[in-house]
Chains A and B, each alone.
Chain A
């Protein structure tokens, strides 16, 4: 009596993918820590902007120094600063919640029993982590552009490149967008590796610790001159490439090679996650 018809949802073996993705995104953004994290990321460019304006001394070195009087550099500087540690941590947190956290809650079991196939589950979870990465990068970029225009102000409403030329507003924004996309790509790599760790444990903290430990280890390895040959394999070694977007003409070599590296990390991370989730007890 419970089987009413041979057509329609009664014979469906899986819920529509779009519905699963929407439910995942809703879950991600209903999580208070996601919202708090995004709020804090939005603060980063504001703090840098205030710092630059208050200090207001010419000749401040580096990327941050270049922000002075040049507002459109602010989002790129903020993204570069956050990429070093904060953005990867936020992505690791999302990945930790995605599998390890669900397992700890006992909700992973519920999803597998619905059933959501294990292949699909990895897809849905990876999508959720990517959405967090994109939202975090976007929060910095958008607030960065606004704070840059309003608090710092800009030369002729455009962007002064590190090479000394001036770009119009449109071209400046396009470069901000390019760096944002590149940052999301790097974060996807971090997220994929974090998901792989997440698929191995039911303790979300293990995922955070692994990513943090990995970042520090990469930092140490890249500081050892004898290990120069290792540089090209380290994900973090290309993370200063965002500043290249501020040159005229733009140089894409570093961003391109780091994106390739990120793709490799992503493929390995997702591949391992898939392999592991096929075997995982829930």
Chain B
């Protein structure tokens, strides 16, 4: 395996008529990462994914998939599993037959290995019991699971999942999370677009936030969250004296409404000074911690500002 990023976009741009779907975007997906692609509806997530996979030609810019330029993307695709824009299957075939048809086109599968690969993929997404029913009769969640199975027919170096939890029940959502964790543990790179922020926060190592076709934030999830402080939480029974002292010291502090009694300092002196101030004044400090914002808050800040 090379050190090249699993996927890379440079100045990637796509214009449909007068609509700019993706506006010249640079992105690197490090090998082994689980990248959550976030953005409001119509922010260009799917168009970006489709360009990376060679399904849509970019208007301008370049991209690489597993180190291959778009002009040679076919060489990378056998190692890429994708579920893009919902599961596409034939209604008159059973789930198993649909997957067999897909498997027949997979370069990395030997003919003799196909039945087994199909069975394993069905097992992995929990669809074995419905494998021989027609796709026509599948529920939305089962269709989604079958789409996921299609992406997992072969061990992949990169798996791209566009809204994989659409239509899934809570158990299905958990299953998807477990599958992503398995892929990550096995060293595969995963790109997952979702509007379920809690999902992304739970499963991703990296995020890319899109807004109107532009990247407004990208990087390691932890780093992004750390860069935005959510304030200093001080757990103390002496809430009133603490608030008074902090106000005198020029800090912006409020009563902590959630959980244990305490205060939240969102602006003012640095944390060590605040703690020292309180302790010297005889306020009992049980705990002081920096509060990291939830991804949801970060996302709201990033996408609603403009």
Contact = CB atoms under 8 A, between A and B. Distances in A.
Interface of A: 1-3, 8-10, 12-16, 19-20, 22-23, 26-27, 30-32, 105-117, 279, 281-282
Most A-side CB within 10 Å, residue of B55, B56, B79, B88: B88
B93 interface: yes
Contacts of A279: 57
19 contacts: A3-B79, A3-B157, A9-B108, A9-B113, A13-B75, A15-B105, A22-B104, A23-B105, A27-B93, A30-B97, A108-B88, A109-B84, A109-B88, A112-B54, A113-B80, A114-B105, A115-B74, A115-B105, A281-B50
A50 to B, nearest CB: 32
Contacts of B110: 8-9
A204 to B, nearest CB: 13
Given A12-B78, A14-B107, A115-B77, A281 B85 contact: no
User: Taking chain B's interface residues, is the majority helix, strand, or loop, or is none over half, making it mixed?
Assistant: loop
A13 B74 CA distance: 7
Interface residues of B, number: 45
A20 B187 CA distance: 30
Contact of A31 (B92, B109, B111): B92
A10 B84 contact: no
A275 to B, nearest CB: 15
Most A-side CB within 10 Å, residue of B53, B57, B79, B90: B90
Interface string B141-159: 0000000001000011100
Contact of A1 (B74, B75, B82, B187): B187
Contacts of A32: 92
B300 interface: no
Interface of B: 1, 50, 53-57, 73-75, 77-80, 82, 84-93, 97, 100-102, 104-111, 113, 150, 155-157, 186-188
B104 to A, nearest CB: 4
A105 B155 contact: no
B72 to A, nearest CB: 10
Contacts of B102: 110, 114
Most B-side CB within 10 Å, residue of A9, A30, A108, A112: A9
A67 B239 CA distance: 106
Contacts of A282: 55
B186 A1 contact: yes
Nearest to B72: A13
A108 B105 CA distance: 12
A10 B86 CA distance: 28
A19 B154 CA distance: 17
A115 B78 contact: yes
